[in-house]
Structure 1
Amino acid sequence: MLTNVATALFGIADLWVIGRLGDANAQAGVELGAKFMMGLLVVFNFLRSGTVALTAQAAGRGDTESQGGTLVRACGAALAIGLVLLALMPIAIPAGLDLLQAKGGVATAAGAYVGIRYWGGLLWLLNAVLVGWLIGRKRVRPVLWIEVAANIVHIALDLLFVLVLGWGVEGVATATLISEGLKLAAACAVAAREAPARLALRLLRHRTTWDGAALGILFRLNRDLFLRTLLLTGAILLLVRAGAQQGPVVLAANGILYQLFILSALILDGFESAAQVLCGEAVGARDRTRFQRLVRTTMIWGIAFGALISLIYVAAGGPFAASFSTDPAVTAATLLYLPWAMLLPLIGIPSYVFDGIYIGATWTRALLATMAFAFAAYALLLLAAAPFGNHGLWLAFSVFLVARAVGQGALLPRLERRAFAGR
């Protein structure tokens, strides 16, 4: 949870610092550019989730060589994807910004931001693999210190580049790019000290590392997670696109509300990560009793923390949200729609915990099916709620989170019986 708070500070720092300029176009441009980069990269978050699951299950079996092989294969996949994205850069940036309805000053600011951030895509992908691998081995504390150190540097560079040197949007993007590079260097240094990673060079040249069975498991798992994340990212981009159609003030306000949502989601994602690792180990060890106990425990504690964060947002969310902009119109719009951000931690946490359980158990096909069901409900409600404006938009997104949890909860008993047949 602490690691994820540190991760969330990247986006919060960018939006807060650019908000000191009092320019709605600049703030909306950073919001749109950040969502473009999220849409481009987060669909490949299977590199982290899949690596966590496969590493945790190998650890549950006590298989050191499989842990090393997972790291090598996942890094190879990240490198290949990163190179393809760089080759597509001249096409991807204009097409993506057009898709997000970027216009006028917002489009100019978003283009400047993305033009710099895009070069860090390969760094982000490799970071996802290394962080997932370390979490799968329960080496979470070093990941926390890496995130904390990277954020200290990032915030300092944000302040220097934007408020001192006056680089504006370009300064925010440059600070993020440099910080991603430092994170990758630190993660490599930590991973290199782990015993399975020391097998990497030998496994890289070993034919069995790249055989069809090993790659098949990786690709099947990653295919389902990719499609599931594609739907999740599509839901968020629909949220951004619909906000952009209502003008820069609503777009900037929604950007602030989204940062509050993602802060709570990343904090609560600690329960998802724990469920991935611990449930993955229980499945690897074929221990059904332990698995059932972990499902109950993570869900109960997750809901309790979700309720706590919602109460904190109710008590202190107003002043915190208002601090993100010096533009009175943006602040007023943010406070008008703030109750939605207060509600989301509580209604979102069951789906986060179920995500972790399903990924750890490698039930990725079922995870994809439930996400497709929720996305369909979200898209239909988005159309039906259009007359209600931005309130309708946030209502549809809230239903999306609930629908995910309903589908996952309904399928869990059958999946458990199949996974632990005879136990």
Structure 2
Amino acid sequence: MTVSPPSPARQLWAIALPAMLTNVATALFGLADMWAIGRLGDAPAQGAVELGAKFMLGLLNVFNFLRTSTVALTAQSSGRGDGDAGETLARAMAVALGIGAVLLTAMPLAIPLGLDVLGAEGPVREAARSYVAVRYWAGPVWLANCVLVGWLIGQRKVRHVLVVEIIANLVHIALDLLLVLVVRWGVAGVATATVSSEALKFLLLAAIVVREGAARDALAALGRKGTWARSELARLFALNRDLFVRTLLLTGSILLFARVGARAGPVTLAANGVLFQIFMLATLLLDGFESGAQVLCGEALGAQSRARFTAAVRSALVWGGVTGLAVAALYALAGARLAAAFSTDPAVVAATAQYAPWLALLPVLGVSSFVFDGVFVGAGWTRAMLGTMAAAMAAYLVLLWTLQPLGNHGLWAAFAVLFGGRAVGQALVLPRLIRRSFSAS
């Protein structure tokens, strides 16, 4: 008897649900950081953690292409059935180690420059510098973890990643409570908790990769000429180049968001930091559909199956949209109360309540762009994704200027348009890209 393959929706949820839970576990450390430092009732310290976290986000998130490209190339290899996963892992890890070495070399210049870019001044700057000086050392480990996580997701081993993330973040939260509230290390305690949990995550991920035999395959691939063939390297660097520039634009928009908010003073900065962390919780939840789309679309492209590809896109958009509406409804009902739990400063609590309605709008606008990102990365359409991001970024910059009279509400409005604009641009170019990639299907 022939067994029917799982439906597109079932395949999507098999990847998306563990990825969503993994991403939520990842978001917990940012929320735990803001909650722990908020117990001190010190707005400048809370603002410093916000700026320090944005600095590290700006420094490292531009290299998140290591994860996304590894997912795409591993999934495409699985779709073709060519057993190229070991070579993909070897190439990606070599790039990660090279970038890590450059970052450590640039550390003495990068920290003061980054704080200047973010407009950090006075006590906030000094506290942010203390935070970054500790957390910076986790950068190379974070890069290696991007590769290991990307490889495991591309192999559909998302549950393994989930278990690792839960363990590492439970340790992170425990260290936050110990180092900030008991030992009273303040912002340095928050940063130390992050470094420690990142190192633990690497050890756990590496142990899984070794157990799966991928480490042996990757080591064997290091000595094969095919691993370093010009065509393969050109493909890798073309994909990573587009993803790097696109992520650079997205990260720049987030840093600009932090800088504009910082001009309004430490209270608004702290409130925006709390709201942004709650927004990131929704983003990382909905990002599970991006992971599902990356894997399913990558496999479909590798197998040159247009039917599988379009079914995966349709399923991701429908279920992503339903989940986005559910998150938006939750934030509309409880967003302000949730934000109030992250500070004991009455002024910060009042400011979070004033701007909390934006939390209900952003998930609806953002979910389609997250899904399309997964589709475009999985299919290798990174140049088109970069173009749509550039157009959305241009609209964002114009709105930042024109909406200044609205104050912080104008800042959040421009940020919302950034996500909605990306989705519209990607939807417009998608049909042409499908016809081009599956012309023979």
Q: Any idea what the Cα deviations from partners look like across 1:299-356, whole Å, max 9, x if unmatched?
A: 0000100000011111221221100000000010011000001211111100000000
Structure-1 separation of matches of 2:365 and 2:93? 35
Partner of 1:63: 82
SS at match of 1:192: helix
Which of residues 157, 169, 193 in structure 2 aligns to 1:151? 169
Q: CA deviation at 1:407?
A: 0.4
SS at match of 1:9: helix
Which of residues 259, 275, 291 in structure 1 aligns to 2:277? 259
Structure-2 separation of matches of 1:396 and 1:270? 25
Structure-1 separation of matches of 2:149 and 2:367? 22
Structure-2 separation of matches of 1:202 and 1:165? 46
Structure-1 separation of matches of 2:399 and 2:296? 36
Structure-1 separation of matches of 2:419 and 2:220? 44
Structure-2 separation of matches of 1:203 and 1:50? 18
Structure-2 separation of matches of 1:261 and 1:401? 12
Partner of 1:44: 63
Which of residues 349, 353, 372 in structure 2 aligns to 1:354? 372
Q: CA deviation at 1:207?
A: 2.1
Matched, 1:240 2:258: yes
Partner of 1:79: 97
Structure-2 separation of matches of 1:404 and 1:282? 24
- What amino acid does structure 2 have at the position aligned with 1:4? N
Q: Any idea what the Cα deviations from partners look like across 1:106-141, whole Å, max 9, x if unmatched?
A: 101100000000000000000000000000000000
Structure 1 stretches of at least 4 aligned residues deviating more than 4 Å after TM superposition:
none
Q: 1:118-157 to 2 correspondence within 5 Å? A: 118-157=136-175
Structure-2 separation of matches of 1:193 and 1:61? 24
User: Is the 2:335–2:357 contact (alpha carbons within 8 Å) kept by the matching residues of 1?
Assistant: no
User: Is the 2:332–2:359 contact (alpha carbons within 8 Å) kept by the matching residues of 1?
Assistant: no
Matched, 1:381 2:399: yes
Q: Any idea what the Cα deviations from partners look like across 1:61-109, whole Å, max 9, x if unmatched?
A: 1122x11101000000000000000000000000000110001111011
Structure-1 separation of matches of 2:312 and 2:231? 30
Partner of 1:18: 37
- TM-score, normalised with respect to structure 2: 0.95
Structure-1 separation of matches of 2:213 and 2:182? 45
Q: CA deviation at 1:387?
A: 1.0
Q: CA deviation at 1:147?
A: 0.3
SS at match of 2:211: coil
Partner of 1:303: 321
Partner of 2:202: 184
Q: Which moved more, 1:200-209 or 1:189-198?
A: 189-198
Partner of 2:11: none
Structure-2 separation of matches of 1:356 and 1:405? 12
Which of residues 5, 9, 33 in structure 1 aligns to 2:28? 9
- What amino acid does structure 1 have at the position aligned with 2:52? G
Structure-2 separation of matches of 1:386 and 1:334? 19
Percent identity, aligned pairs only, is 61
Q: CA deviation at 1:235?
A: 0.7
Q: Any idea what the Cα deviations from partners look like across 1:209-257, whole Å, max 9, x if unmatched?
A: 1121111111000000000000000111110000001110000000011
Aligned length: 422
Which of residues 208, 215, 218 in structure 1 aligns to 2:226? 208
Partner of 1:221: 239
Q: CA deviation at 1:264?
A: 0.2
Which of residues 216, 230, 234 in structure 1 aligns to 2:248? 230
Q: CA deviation at 1:195?
A: 3.8
Q: 1:97-112 to 2 correspondence within 5 Å? A: 97-112=115-130
**Structure 2 gap segments, 5+ residues each:** 1-19
- What amino acid does structure 1 have at the position aligned with 2:256? L
Superposition RMSD on alpha carbons, in Å?
0.7
- What amino acid does structure 1 have at the position aligned with 2:85? Q
- What amino acid does structure 1 have at the position aligned with 2:60? L
- TM-score, normalised with respect to structure 1: 0.99
**Structure 1 gap segments, 5+ residues each:** none
Structure-1 separation of matches of 2:375 and 2:180? 41
Q: Which moved more, 1:186-195 or 1:74-83?
A: 186-195
